[in-house]
Structure 1
Amino acid sequence: MVTTSRQAAVTRAQGWALALSSLASFMVVLDLLVVATALNTIHRDLGASMGQLEWTVNAYTLAFAVLLMTAAAVGDRFGRRRVFAIGLGVFAAGSAACALAPGASALIAARTVQG
């Protein structure tokens, strides 16, 4: 009976881990999709050049790719749950900074933080 209870707890924990990982992956894809859709508006409202539009997309992708393995190592050292929560907080702060960006340069900096 103890084994069944332990298996159920492990299965539940695995389910939560899968759900949170899926949610984080969805946030990344949704963010890229939203920015790709808004490029014309960014160009028009913020007066961004083509180079700035490219950096708006690439700053996030570059920061995400460069820090992915580093974040995994930091998660192993300090706890995956803690690092995941901090990462979500930094992503949310970066998203707020993106929404409040007064110009293209500030948007690019905020997208880098978001990545």
Structure 2
Amino acid sequence: MSYEIGAFSELVSLSIDTLRYYEKLGLIKPQRSTNNRRAYTDNDIKWVQFIKRLKKTGMPIKSIKLYAKLRYQGNATIDERLKLLDNQMHRLKTDQNEIQAHIAFLNQKMATYRQIKAEISKTQ
């Protein structure tokens, strides 16, 4: 199936300006119709969803641009793409460990306050 930019914009929940910006960055490369209008496909929908997911993981736009460039070069670049994804996974796991440490800190502080409250209640 083929979609013009307006319909595609609605399907992927991105503005037309954002799609044009992504195209300018080289993230997406829509086909062109005979009258030179952008013609997006179902594969483009999946690709944009993937880009959006990479952004949600916090992957820098520079890395997403490189990933897109490698993707458009074909299967010979799979190892390089895997490395980019592995680097992002490492960043996420580092962030996860940091968040876990913050949660532990807050839990400890809350436990301390609950203990103080309990002690105050006993003396009243």
Normalised-by-shorter TM-score class:
0.3 to 0.5
TM-score, with length taken from structure 1: 0.34
User: In terms of Rg, which structure is larger?
Assistant: 2
Whose strand proportion is higher, 1 or 2? 2
Whose helix proportion is higher, 1 or 2? 1
Higher relative contact order (CA 8 A, sep 6+): 1
